[in-house]
Amino acid sequence: MSLYAFIISIFALVVAIMALPTLFQMIWGRPDIELIFWESIDERAQRKYLRCRIVNRPIKNCLLQKIGVYRRPSDDVHVLFSVRDTKTSKMVVTGIHAAIYTTQIGKLMPSVSLPASTIPAMINLVEAKDDAYTKTIAPYEAKNIQLPVGEYCAIIRIRTSEKEKEYHRNFYVGNKQQDLRWESIKPMVNQ
């Protein structure tokens, strides 16, 4: 009887070891979306942008890589954003569906699939034109909204087929192009 129990326990151990990569894939292979706030200046067009990069980070853990765990692509990524005036708490813009740019597609899309990569997708949130010092929200949307001088909070929601994340980050709009900037503190993330 103990021989049968020993054989069954060895068999169960082998099955458990074979199932570990699948279990690890289910736990650590889920998409991991990260939002990075940055500024860029287009000298040629004399414009400054407040942008967000969206990345599905690949797995970096060597052990997980060796057993074959990989980061799954994040399908159907949508970005919605709102802008609130921080002084008055009044919503300046509510629920604009951002146009997302990826180098894989090479054009602006309403939603994208993000493979595990360090190459980001990107959205432009605010644009400042040097000639008239105008600041517009969502420069690629049909309706551009002018922003007066002040401090604002960008509320960005990233929706995927699996979950939704919301990020908050303050930015400043001044009289000149160089006054357009993100607040330097780390963004608050709600999951």
The pLDDT profile of the chain, 191 residues, written as one tens digit per residue, is 688 888 888 888 888 888 777 888 888 888 889 999 988 888 887 788 888 999 998 988 888 888 888 888 888 899 998 899 999 999 988 888 888 888 777 788 888 888 888 888 998 888 887 645 455 666 555 566 778 888 999 999 999 888 899 999 999 888 777 788 898 744 444 44
Q: Is there a contact between 175 and 133 (Cβ–Cβ < 8 Å)?
A: yes
pTM for the model: 0.77
Conformation bin of residue 14: beta by default, left when phi > 0, alpha when psi is -120 to 50: alpha
DSSP helix/strand/coil, 45: coil
* Rounded Cα–Cα distance for residues 164 and 51 (Å): 20
The angle subtended at Cα 132 by Cα 129 and Cα 137, nearest 5°, is 45
Indicate the Cα dihedral angle 37, 147, 178, 48, nearest 10°. Answer: 60
Helix residue spans in the chain (DSSP H): 2-28, 62-66
Per-residue exposure over 75-92, b if at least 16 CB sit within 10 Å of its own CB, e if not = eebbbbbbbbeeeeeeeb
